[in-house]
Structure 1
C-alpha cells in the first residue's frame, strides 16, 4: 500500500475510534475540519505520495490525536498530516531550539520570506499560513 492508501486507512480508523468512544478526539477532528472549511480554499493541493517521497521517503506514520507524523531518516523534518485532509512540514531541530514550531514550505525550505520584484521581505501571517498549509489531493484528482 502506498502512503496515500495508508493515510486514508489510518484517517478512517481515527474517525471511527472518535465516533465510537473518544469524545475529545471527536471534538479535535471537528475543529480540524472547521479549519479546513474556513481556510482551506487558500491552500495549495498536493499529492501526499510525492511530498513524502521527497521529504520523508520510507517513513511510517506515528498517530498522535488528529495527526499522523512522518519523520525523515535523520528526524530533522516531520511531515504532519491531519486526518481532516491537510498537512504541514515541520523543521524539527529549529522547533526544538525556538519557542515556536517552525514550519517549512512544500520542499522543506524556510517559508518566512518571499521575493517580490527582486526584493526579499518577510511574509505576512496570512501569506505564511498559505505557504505552509497544503490540502491533500484525493486519488485521481488532477487539480
Structure 2
C-alpha cells in the first residue's frame, strides 16, 4: 500500500495531478492509515530503536526509485501513470484498494527473500531424525 501511495504521489507531482492525489487520500484515508500503522509495526518489530529512521529511509528510497522510473519513461510517464487514478476512482472500499495495491506491479527499493535454515539432527530422537526446516523472511534495503 505504501508503494502504491508513493507512486501516486510521484505521479501527482510529476504530472500536475495533485487534486487527483488529494481525492485519493481523502477517499481512502482509513485504509491508508491502517496500512501505515501496520508498516510502522513492521519497522518497530524489525528495527527496534532504529525503526523511525529505517521507516523514513524506506519511504525516501521508495519515492526515489519511483521517480527514477518516471525519468526513464520520459514523456510517456504521465500518460502511463495517470490511468491509475482512473482505476482507483472506480474502487469503492479499502479492501478493494488493498487488492488493487497487491496486484499492481509497484517499484520497491527493497527485496524480500525466503531462506530455509539447514536441517538439524534431533538429538533426542533414537533414530537421528532431522528436524523440519523453517522458512523466514529477511529484509534487505
TM range (shorter): under 0.3
- Bigger relative CO (Cα 8 Å, ≥ 6 apart): 2
Higher helix share goes to which structure?
2
Structure ID, larger Rg: 2
Higher strand share goes to which structure?
1
- Could you state the TM-score of these two structures normalised by the residue count of structure 2? 0.28
